[in-house]
Structure 1
């Protein structure tokens, strides 16, 4: 409902004029048909700048809670999410990962582009973390190509915790599509899923130039949070006495 309005009128023109995002390899995005855009994830604004540099609509998946808020804030959040191409994932009655897979399947089988961040969360330190295998499973089951994407500079423009991106060079590099057909009918084979996912992540690293961290990003974030809590406790009232 709001996508065209945001991209072509309200959000797109002023953002492109101010930030002047650049793109390399846009021709690697299929001109039609379903495909997965698998990107690194450095900033919240990744989901804003990627669609702006492409001609086709890009659909992202978001928590249902983004669309169910009340009042002015709830309406504004819903409008913004729809405006940047996000659709809700209904998680009732099943795990979030399965709900996302089903919703993503509907998107690509409907001939649209689906944006996915295989790391599952934003990088806490600029490194590229291990990809989750859902991207491979979806591509194999749907029979659609995976297009590797690298967001450049969004972490500098909008670090975690900063609301409005700063003015800096922001770019998007897009690599050749990866055909999952050699893994056909192996969507339940863990080794096949890991191999294809690692191939995708290696392609993203080649585009972004990021250092590869061979571990789960969400787990690392939990470790950082735990360390921060322990440090805060050590600096509490008892240590000051």
Structure 2
């Protein structure tokens, strides 16, 4: 199924690729990519001869009904691995364990250090938990990858993709074997993650923002709420100003009548 999906994607979108020679013909490696679109996990495996395993939330594999079964089959076909996200640290620990298992099988493990899709096309600070811990626990090389223009094909919230050519740039492998076994040192984890993000930035040409993408999404959501609240208040104020005001003439006519009534 992987080959049929990959062939269909290549035929329909004709993605261009640079740096394919940096993917090893065999043996384990970690592919660390920027994350612009839901389709990133499909385009990268489509251009490679080897299987790439990404992680995906378990709900994609357990939804009931015909649609749920089709979704599960699709994700399995493109190399997605279900991860149970229950518990406070469930997602992170499950992802790390899954990544280590993939590497120990001698396969390619794909991961997005930003942790979530970019909300505006910029490159955000990498999270040091997953990528660096898998790399230091296994000693596997890290290959930086840059997805180009995939957010234009399928922006967040859009179901039907736009037919255009995305790009993929694959950098040279990064060797962190000097830190092997130091996955408990948070300073080393931060250093490794930042080095990988710098290489991704050079490949992608994105503007780098030194905050987490999750924080940026909260800021954007808060700004949108504030703007909506301000617009609502402005409309209410305008409606108040537009309300009819009783004329002086009608008030004068009503005056004597009101006086008579009082008598």
Taking structure 2 as the reference length, the TM-score comes to 0.85
Structure 1 Cα separation of the partners of residues 160 and 196 of structure 2? 30
Structure 2 Cα separation of the partners of residues 236 and 99 of structure 1? 44
Determine the structure 2 residue equivalent to 1:235: 231
- Please state whether the residue corresponding to 2:117 is helix, strand or coil: coil
Bigger drift between 149-158 and 83-92 goes to 83-92
The offset of 1:91, in angstroms, is 3.6
Q: Deviations over 1:127-163 (max 9, x none)?
A: 1100011201110001101000001111122212222
- Please state whether the residue corresponding to 1:235 is helix, strand or coil: helix
Determine the structure 2 residue equivalent to 1:48: 42
Q: Deviations over 1:51-107 (max 9, x none)?
A: 011000010101111111001121121111112110111244652111111111111
Structure 1 residue 142 corresponds to structure 2 residue 138: yes
Task: Pick from 119, 122, 127 the counterpart of residue 127 of structure 1.
Answer: 122
Count, aligned residues? 235
Task: Pick from 84, 91, 107 the counterpart of residue 90 of structure 1.
Answer: 84
- Please state whether the residue corresponding to 1:59 is helix, strand or coil: strand
Q: Is the 8 A contact 1:45 1:165 kept in 2?
A: no
Structure 1 Cα separation of the partners of residues 151 and 234 of structure 2? 37
Structure 2 Cα separation of the partners of residues 81 and 64 of structure 1? 10
Structure 2 Cα separation of the partners of residues 102 and 91 of structure 1? 13
Determine the structure 2 residue equivalent to 1:214: 210
Matches within 5 A, 1:44-83: 44-83=38-77
Taking structure 1 as the reference length, the TM-score comes to 0.92
Q: Is the 8 A contact 1:136 1:196 kept in 2?
A: yes
Which runs of at least 4 in structure 1 moved beyond 4 Å after TM superposition? none
Bigger drift between 201-210 and 159-168 goes to 159-168
Structure 1 Cα separation of the partners of residues 3 and 177 of structure 2? 36
Determine the structure 1 residue equivalent to 2:246: none
